[in-house]
Chain A
Amino acid sequence: GENVEQHPSTLSVQEGDSAVIKCTYSDSASNYFPWYKQELGKGPQLIIDIRSNVGEKKDQRIAVTLNKTAKHFSLHITETQPEDSAVYFCAPGKGGGADGLTFGKGTHLIIQP
């Protein structure tokens, strides 16, 4: 099955700085690369995703970049704000997550005021 590793496990940044979280995966057949945000006491919520025919996607302050050759993709958050504090999960999958997603263990992002 898919082996997913996410780094770092905890990331603390000053408000206004940028944050980058990296996800590596093992299955070369993976073709769907989403990032989820989970706030305390809530379910995960999709914030951005990318498919394998695209190298980068941006949505306001967040972006995802994909390197299929090296089998990793990254989440970039610029101009971080207090509401960005949460746990972030990558969840690569095949067929757009047809048979469910394989989640990384999560990155706890802390925004320092």
Chain B
Amino acid sequence: NAGVTQTPKFQVLKTGQSMTLQCAQDMNHNSMYWYRQDPGMGLRLIYYSASEGTTDKGEVPNGYNVSRLNKREFSLRLESAAPSQTSVYFCASSEYREDTQYFGPGTRLTVL
């Protein structure tokens, strides 16, 4: 099992460009999450999907949209990237909402 995979690993954007970060899990988990990690800030929840077909805002949702494409895949979209969105983005999944979260390797995004 690959666990949680994320693409791309690295990305550089110009201000105003759009892009989608992809996440997939092969553990048949019901819940999926997107976090961002900034230096000295820990990880902050952007959006989560408790189950297929549902999505909810987390602590820092502004400037992002998500899609739970199917049970395996959960994508994060930046419609108009801003320098403040420069960060490392992590996707995570858990079997149920109450269970342990497993993290992917991250996407390092730089917005110029």
Contacts and interface: CB of A to CB of B under 8 A. Distances in A.
A41 to B, nearest CB: 8
Majority secondary structure, A binding face: loop
Category for how many chain B residues contact A: 20 to 34
Contacts of A103: 35, 42-44
Nearest to B40: A105
Interface in A64-97: 89, 91, 95-97
Given A95-B97, A98-B50, A103-B44, A43 B56 contact: no
Contact of A46 (B33, B40, B102): B102
Interface in B66-112: 90, 92, 94, 96-106
Given A97-B98, A105-B40, 20 more contacts: A1-B59, A34-B100, A36-B103, A42-B106, A43-B4, A43-B92, A43-B104, A44-B43, A44-B90, A89-B42, A91-B43, A96-B96, A96-B99, A97-B94, A97-B97, A97-B100, A98-B50, A99-B45, A101-B101, A106-B42
